[in-house]
Amino acid sequence: MPTYLGKAKNAFIPTSFFAIMLRTPRLPLELIDKSLDELANDPQRPARAKELDLSACAKASHMLRTSARRARYRQRELTLGPSDIAEKVKMWTYYAPVITPYLEDLEVTWYCPSSISRSDVIDLISLLSKAVLQRLKLVGVDRDFPIVMHQLAGQTTICDLSLRFFTSIPAELLAYRKALRTLEIKDSQVVWTNSMPYSSDFNYVFDTQEDFDVDGIRPPSSFTLGLYSTLEYENTLLQRYSGNLTSLTLVFHSQSLKYLDHLSGDLFVNLKHLELEFNNDESIQPKIDIARWVEKRGGSNIEDFTVCFSYSCEISGDILAIMNCIIAEGSPHSTTNLFDTKVFPKLANGEVILKFPLIWYDSYQDWEVASIQEMVDIKAQELFGGKTSVPTAAIKGLLVLAEDPLALRCSQSCEEESGSEDEESGSEDEESGSEDEE
């Protein structure tokens, strides 16, 4: 050993040296958390690249590790497809102790009823239930709500709960939830004990200052309601809460338009924001004067008004066919008559949307999607353009992924085999689990 190293080894290090080291400036933890959150949520970067960066941060130092884990594991998606389910569940089970301390937002989707009844899946759900969840989304397959999911969905810390495609959801799972701020039920039936009917398609934003009703549900301050021809009681539900609403979204399906005239004349009197979405299955455009209909129901105080015309399609060729029909028939709606300031004297913002939910959206290349999107936007401008004195009036064409349960089960169920980036990120995410064992 060199002489100078031997002297250094035996040298006395004063206590003041350690005091100086402890006083070395460090970045505030809040700033580190904010920076890593921005990295994790950057929409301009691929998910895989963000995961690798967060993994590198976790390995870089003990100070960064907790913040990196929190940003990385806060939101997770677990999809149980028809293939490779055993390997995926095994991997998730192995890394669950690493993930659950930071997990706040969880989405679980399964396509086969048998998937959720497997013993290894039940064990995994039990492990994930140890997380303190704020948000939970469960997507099923048109079956009864699984008992194994009660421990997840029943967590009292959940603020935002979404349940999709279940034929029977027990009411006690939703009743008297003090922390619950939003509740979404999509194509599902809740077994309410009271005679008051509820819709199978709604999204409530609760007024947490209000008391629970007889069903243990607070009245909403705003909500989205899907209207179907066979569910006339949805009108009753709407009128029950309309007096307290400041924001409302109504989603009409073609046959439900005939129930429009059954709604009371003061329905919208307190509304500030109203959005109407027309899902057109039979007719190309609804043959009603939308602005006058809203006016007759007390909508003169509305400040923000959005009208959306939605056409579900399987492939891009369907979009072209519908476009040709709309052009041939002509649209009776425009910014001129929809946003008439004589009807809406307080209207400050108006928007018309031409939307095409596309079932096979993911099968198209980015440049193809961009090309179709551009065409839809141009046609929307041509169809709905007009003069209006509303300060902010916009026309938008949208191409989006369809929310179709049949498509989920038939097309996206192959996602496991194709090794999609989102699913594989589950395995890539946890590869750094070794760092968490330190």
Q: Please enumerate, as own/partner, the contacts of 315-323 that have beta carbons within 8 Å and a separation of 24 or more.
A: 315/358, 315/359, 315/360, 316/358, 316/364, 316/368, 316/372, 319/356, 319/358, 319/372, 319/375, 319/376, 319/399, 322/284, 322/356, 323/375, 323/376, 323/379
Q: How confident is the model at residue 195 (pLDDT cuts 50, 70, 90)?
A: low
Instruction: Give me the torsion for CA of 291, 225, 228, 293, rounded to 10°.
Output: -10
Does the CA dihedral 151-416-362-432 come out positive or negative?
Answer: positive
Residue-wise pLDDT tens digits, 19-73: 444 455 565 566 666 666 666 667 666 777 777 776 766 666 666 666 767 777 8
| Lowest mean pLDDT across 30-44, 77-91, 157-171, 305-319 | 30-44
State yes or no: pLDDT of 304 exceeds 90. Answer: yes
Bridge-based pairing state of the strands 105-110 and 160-170: unpaired
User: Which of 135, 183, 190, 197 is closest to 166 using CA atoms?
Assistant: 190
Q: Are strands 105-110 and 273-279 parallel, antiparallel or unpaired?
A: unpaired
Query: Which tokens sit at 170?
Result: 């027990």
Q: Check: CB of residue 267 under 8 Å from CB of residue 240.
A: no
Three-state secondary structure call for residue 70: helix
Task: Please give the average per-residue pLDDT across 264-278, as a whole number.
Answer: 86
pLDDT of 424 above 60: no
Closest CA to 205 of 156, 231, 241, 170: 241
Domain residue extents for the chain: 26-73
Contacts 24+ apart (CB under 8 A), 39-45: 39/71, 40/71, 40/72, 40/74
- How far from 361 is each of 356, 372, 374, 412, CA to CA, in Å? 10, 11, 15, 11
Give pLDDT tens digits for 222-240. Answer: 888 887 755 556 667 777 7
What confidence tens digit (pLDDT) does each residue in 71-102 have?
A: 778 889 998 877 788 899 999 999 999 899 99
Residue whose pair of structure tokens reads 């009864």 in the numeric block: 144
Encoded tokens for 394? 């916009």
Label residue 415 by pLDDT band (50, 70, 90).
Answer: very low
Distance (Å) of CA 291 to CA 10, 274, 300, 345, 349: 88, 11, 10, 12, 14
pLDDT of res. 89: 93
Measured distance CA(240)–CA(236) in Å, rounded: 6
379-400 residue pLDDT tens = 888 888 877 777 788 899 999 9
- Name which of 227, 82, 204 is nearest 141 in CA terms: 82
pLDDT value of residue 96: 94
Residue 191 pLDDT: 84
